[in-house]
Chains A and B, each alone.
Chain A
């Protein structure tokens, strides 16, 4: 029996991914006249551990498997192979337990667009078992902390900018006090000030709430500023994993200059940054 199936879970490991495999495009069933689609490997035997309290970054081009990896952890996809554990709980066999520990911000700020931020957050909070006063107070506090004016809290989401919607998405995820927060390109579309506010808030959450954060991003500056460790994923496989400093130190110098994280990223993932939509 492999060691990973009999060992007791390490309390310091927040996420343990062992040989995770996810393919799409071949469901095993199709209409008799339907076209046969080739299976695409989105996550290819990925293994990694994320330590408790860590801010862990996953960098990769579009279509590299970042979002699929997050969906596997967040119980929205079932792995085709390997296993994924959150604080020792298997995401397939103990999905409900895992769901109480996590929350996720996706790159698309998905809301009931006619409802206000407060109404959307009330819905989110109740789904996680919060009572009305606790949810309402928490929602107001976090939204204002993220820089939203009190006046917009009652306006329909559809009247808000993309950046403001993304802040509400982040507030919704924070509201349930997850101990593992999955942030899938959370600052995409935000202006520099908003970006910085969100980054400060992520750090604050980690420091004050003992939360672990898994962050995917295209923003190398953000990754360097926030992440304790970074994995670079390409074609569904992890091609590098270390601290940003160590990754830079291991890369060859360019024209006598120390490489940036972006240089490291480009050298590991090739020139073709956009391959297909994730």
Chain B
């Protein structure tokens, strides 16, 4: 059996294991999905109520609702990927299986491939449910939307988010007790600067440059072009190439950093300690 085939089979172990975990925790998954949908709807309702709150007229409510809905849907998609990938170490520390997994004959590339493949599939299903409920709830028309372009943006955005998430996964490796909590700092920073619910131009000037370092900014801008304005796929390139570039840099850099962190943990004995 060639090494590649064996490694690919080993990579599938993470997809299958995570599927089993989701199946076993089905009640929790249902609660999480309902929470996610309710959360997304409540943010979109801000758009419906904006006129009443501000007392202003001339607000295009449908546009504002869809603007906010795109924010919640895209952010949900990207943050779910982030949490699944950063949890690659955290969940195993919690269960106490980290040593068993890290002594298996599988490269970190294939290890991460399995975990991220599941993360993307899981997140796509979640996003589809949230999108469907939002469309039905607010009677949103997607007739002019370029759904193929939207999907391409999500996939391109996944790559760069995976790279950042692999960096995040290092924290529980280096800091057994508090590493998992530290990952929230990364996602909170991106939520603030990426224009999830507002244009980045409303941010203070000193904060705006950070928006261009966040892949979520490009996914959100591109998604709004496709779903709000029906931009065709070819016109999405200005949003897609920065995402591919970020992914192309962040994934190998993240894997390198993870390998170094793993060496550090093996040198100092931090794998054994359960946080």
Q: Which residue of B7, B21, B96 contacts A108 across the interface (Cβ within 8 Å)? A: B96
Among the 9-residue stretches A2-10, A113-121, A215-223, the one with 4 or more Cβ atoms under 8 Å from chain B is A113-121
A24-B268, A77-B266 known; A131 vs B105 contact (CB < 8 Å) = no
Residue contact A100 to B272, C-beta cutoff 8 Å = no
Contact of A124 among B12, B21, B100 (CB under 8 A): B100
How many whole Å from B36's CB to the nearest CB in chain A?
A: 21
Which of A77, A111, A119, A129 is in CB contact (< 8 Å) with B269? Answer: A77
- B1 / chain A contacts, CB cutoff of 8 Å: 129
Structural contact, B268 and A104, CB atoms closer than 8 A: no
Asked, given contacts A76-B99, A99-B104, A128-B105, whether A123 binds B6 with beta carbons under 8 Å apart, the answer is no
Cross-chain pair count, CB within 8 angstroms: 95
Interface of B is mostly: helix
B111 to chain A, nearest CB (A): 9
- Min CB distance A259 to B, Å, is 35
Residues of A within 8 A of B269 (CB): 24, 77
Pick the contact of A115: B13, B21, B266, B271 (CB < 8 A). Answer: B21
The answer to whether B229 has its CB under 8 Å from any CB of chain A is no
Complex CA gap A131/B6 in Å reads 9
Residues 63-103 of B, flagged 1 when their CB comes within 8 A of A and 0 if not, give 00000000000000000000000000000000111011111
- Knowing A108-B96, A114-B21, A115-B20, the reply to whether A99 touches B103 (Cβ < 8 A) is yes
Q: Which of B102, B104, B267, B272 contacts A128 (CB 8 A)?
A: B104
By a beta-carbon cutoff of 8 Å, the part of chain A in contact with chain B is 24, 27, 71, 74-78, 80, 96, 99-100, 102, 104, 106, 108, 110-115, 119, 122-124, 126-131, 156, 172
The 5 A-B residue pairs whose C-beta atoms are closest, nearest first, are A126-B13, A129-B6, A110-B96, A99-B105, A127-B104
Other than the known A27-B264, A77-B271, what 9 A-B pairs have Cβ atoms closer than 8 Å? A76-B99, A102-B103, A104-B100, A112-B95, A123-B16, A126-B12, A129-B5, A129-B9, A129-B105
- 29 contacts across the A-B interface (CB closer than 8 A): A24-B269, A76-B102, A77-B267, A77-B271, A78-B263, A96-B105, A99-B103, A99-B105, A104-B103, A106-B99, A110-B96, A110-B97, A110-B99, A113-B95, A114-B21, A114-B25, A115-B21, A115-B24, A119-B17, A122-B16, A123-B17, A126-B12, A127-B10, A127-B101, A127-B104, A128-B10, A128-B104, A130-B9, A172-B100
